[in-house]
Amino acid sequence: SFGIDDDPSPEQVKDIRRREVLRATKILGVPEKNVIFLDFVDGTLKENEKARIHLQKAIDLEPDNPVYYENLGLFLMNSGVLDESIEVFQRALHIMPDFFPNWRNLGFAYANSGNYIEAINCLQLYLDNVPQAQDRVQVESMIEELKMRAKRR
């Protein structure tokens, strides 16, 4: 387990995300066997249309499951399809507004698209509602960087 003051490695962050997803799916009553983890780190999914098809099939099967939208949103964001990823994260939040990792993801997507004010708002909402966030230090640092970028505009 990692504390607030820790600086988790990318592998530790991935482990934290997996635990969050499994906890959320348990709350939603989704069988754990239906959870598909995709590794976004190596970038190979950018060309992998099969992954997108599988993610869309999961949504078609369980359209009220925000975790599937989260996975699709992450895939799109990491593929550089930012406008669509923002729409997908917003759909997930419409289904379950208190699924706070999606507020963080939406903030990242806004930041990547250059919408710094929306990014700051989403990331701050995430931190306000997840006081023990494992990635708190990184998100706080990102918020400060986004504030500086927003001032320069």
pLDDT tens digits for range 75-127: 899 888 899 999 999 999 999 999 999 999 999 999 999 999 999 999 999 99
pTM attached to this predicted model = 0.70
Q: How far is 10 from 133, CA to CA, in rounded Å?
A: 15
Residue 18: predicted pLDDT: 74
26-83 per-position pLDDT tens digit: 766 666 666 666 554 445 545 567 788 888 999 999 999 999 999 999 989 988 889 9
Residue 33: predicted pLDDT: 65
